[in-house]
Every structure is written in structure tokens, then in C-alpha cells.
Amino acid sequence: MKRARPKDWLIAGAVLLLRRDRRPPRLKPGEREPVVPAGEPRPRAELLALFLLGAGTLCAVAFIAVYAIDRIPRQTQFLGLSLGLSLLFVAAALIVTAKRLVVTEEIEDEYPLDEHPDEQETVLAAVEDSASRLTRRRLFKLGLAGAGGALFAAFVTPVASLGPVLDMRRFYDTPWRRGKRLVDEHGRPYRADQIEEKTFYTAFAEGSDKEQLGSSLVVVRLPKDDLRLPPENSGFDADGIVAYSKICTHAGCAIALYRVPLFPPAEPKPALVCPCHYSTFDPSDGGSVTFGPAGRKLPMLPIYADSRGQLRARGNFDEPVGPSWWGVRMKRPT
């Protein structure tokens, strides 16, 4: 018996919610006369409206689910579809309710205005009585609240993209440790003599997940005389080769543009540029922001060339990697 209890509660709750109210609105002592004549119940229209509200709720929930699960192909289209259908269903439910369920009454006189408090009460009573056709009031209220709540939640969900709330560890976690080799996308280690000037290379931490935020690097070689690394970044370069996180500190796009002058006296200085919003970083002075919306410098990775000439990390980044969020400067990358 004890084990069946939650089930009983559920069934009882469901019956309470779903059952029809058979009671004709009886006048209790002290109750007022109905303003709007009671209408005949229309169970089919009521069911339809309830069904539409339920479908709208489900679609709004589906929007949240699609938003939460990144692996869904064509995610954007599904986001639009779910939210659009949800709005359509709720709109249809409201239309059915307005046209078929709410008791309407044509009145000859104009509606009373605000300055007549008594008549205002009459209007309120009229609104209350208009629902006389409904037989499942509780369920109807629940359906409305569910649809409204789910839609509101769907509208609010994208706020989650503004930054991590619960799990910030992955923003500080990087695969870089002292001695970790820099490899290309096929896993081949980079040698210092392969890195040429006036071009750029994408490198990853050996044996790491390339999708991990802290794994990818952009590597360039600058003339050693042009390097003006600040004191805290001194010794981060391997004989003119500098390595920065490839993830822009603004919105987390990949830094895919390397602006490098063919003829330095007459052309713009070397710069790492993010194609999304044109945040521009100076590779010669530790990755400071020279243009664009990025709010902090590009994280720099200290590197060295080992005895075989292969590039290795000397340690971890000097700054947290990835797009900025409110806790960005709380810790050092690990």
C-alpha cells in the first residue's frame, strides 16, 4: 500500500485536473446574478483549445531542448521551426478560445469608463462570467500557464549563451603542459626551421582534442628585432617564433587572418585579425588589442625549440583562453 502512494497521488491529481466540472454555476447565498448569460458547454472546441495549448507548450519545450543540444544538425532551422510552431499553436488556441469558448454578448451601450467604479466591477464580473462554457477550468488555466511559461522560458533560454554559470573549469583547462609538443592538424610535430616568416600556422597540443578551447594555437615567426614582448612575456618566444591561442578573446571565433606586410616600411604592421568582428591583435608585443571589440589581449603560450628543433610548450598560457566572461580574470589557466 505504501509503495502505491505516489501513484495514487498522481492519479488523484490528474483526475482533479482533468475531470469536467459538472456543476452548473449555482447561486450561493450572497452571490451576484450573472451579468453574461451562461453559454452551452462546447466540449470539442474546449478539447481543441487544450490540445493546441499543449502543442504550443511542447514546441516551446522543444525549442529549449534544441537550444541545449549542440549536436543537432541544422540547429538554427529547428530553433526557428520550434519557436514558430509554438507561437502558431498558442495563437490558434487563443483564436479558438475567443471565437468558440468565450461567451460573447453584443451590448448597445458603450462600455463604462474608468470613472465609474461600480460599472467597472460589472465589467470584471462580465469577464469572469464569460468563461461559463468551460467545463475544465483548472486544466484550462494550467494549459494557459504552461504555454505561457514554456514560451517565456524559451525566450529567456538564449541568455544562457552569455556565459558559463555552473561549469567554469573547462574555460581554465588547457592541454598545455611543459614539454608538450606543437603538432599540425595531422599530428605531425612542428620543427622550428619549418616555421617561416610572413605566413601563419595552426598548431594543436599533441594528443589533445582539437575541439578543446585551449588546444589550438596560431604560430607565426617575426624578425627577432621586431619583437617587443612586455616583461611578463619575456622569453615566451622561440627565437622569434611566437604562439598565441587561436580563439579570439571577444566572441570565441578562430583567428583566421594574419595580416603581414610584404614591405614593412610602407604597409600596415603585422597583426592577427579575427574575421568575425575584426578584433586585431599585435603578435609582436604579447598579443595586445590594437583594434576591435576584444576586451583583453590574446593569451600567449611560452614555447621553446628542443634539441631536435621541435617546438614544445614551456608552460601554460599567460591568460585564460577563449571568449571573455565575467569570471575571466579570477584564475590562471590550468
Partner 1 sequence: MRLRLGLLLALATVVFATSAPAAPPPVQQGKHLYGEYCVACHGANGSGITQAGNRIGAGPGRSQTQQPGVAPSLRGVGALAPDFYLRTGYMPLAHAGLQPRRSRVLFSDEQIRALIAYVASLGKGPPIPTPHPAHGNVSRGQALFTDHCAGCHQIVGEGGYVTDAVPPPLEDATATQIAEAVRIGPYVMPRFSPRQISNGDLDSIIAYVEYAKHPDDRGGWALGHLGPVPEGLVTWFIAAIVLIAVCVLIGKSLRDEAG
In this complex, which beta carbon is closest to partner 1, that of residue 257 or of residue 305?
A: 257
Grid cell digits, residue 272: 592577427
In this complex, which beta carbon is closest to partner 1, that of residue 150 or of residue 274?
A: 274
d(CA 125, CA 40): 18
Q: Report if residue 4 touches partner 1, rule: CB under 8 A.
A: no
- Here's the x/- map for partner 1, 187-216, by CB under 8 A: it reads as -------x-x-xxxxx--------------
Q: Is 186 exposed, middle or buried (0-12, 13-18, 19+ CB in 10 A)?
A: exposed
Other C-beta atoms within 10 Å of 284: how many?
A: 19
Q: Report if residue 106 touches partner 1, rule: CB under 8 A.
A: no
Q: Which residues of 14-30 are buried (b: 16+ CB within 10 A; e: fewer)?
A: eeeeeeeeeeeeeeeee
Q: Report if residue 260 touches partner 1, rule: CB under 8 A.
A: yes
DSSP 3-state assignment of 177?
Answer: coil
Min. distance of Cβ 82 from partner 1 in angstroms? 17
DSSP 3-state assignment of 261?
Answer: coil
With CB under 8 A as the contact rule, which of the stretches 130-138, 149-157, 235-243, 255-263 interacts with partner 1? Answer: 255-263
Q: Report if residue 263 touches partner 1, rule: CB under 8 A.
A: yes
d(CA 140, CA 148): 12
By CB under 8 A, how many residues form the interface with partner 1?
A: 27
Min. distance of Cβ 64 from partner 1 in angstroms? 22
- Here's the x/- map for partner 1, 271-290, by CB under 8 A: it reads as x-x-x--x-x---------x
Min. distance of Cβ 292 from partner 1 in angstroms? 7
162 close to 176: Cβ distance less than 8 angstroms: no
Q: Mention every residue, 6+ apart, whose C-beta is less than 8 A from residue 144.
A: 53
267, 295, 331, 332: residue in contact with partner 1 (rule CB under 8 A) = 267
182 close to 219: Cβ distance less than 8 angstroms: yes
- The binding site for partner 1 (CB under 8 A) comprises 194, 196, 198-202, 256-263, 265-268, 271, 273, 275, 278, 280, 290-292
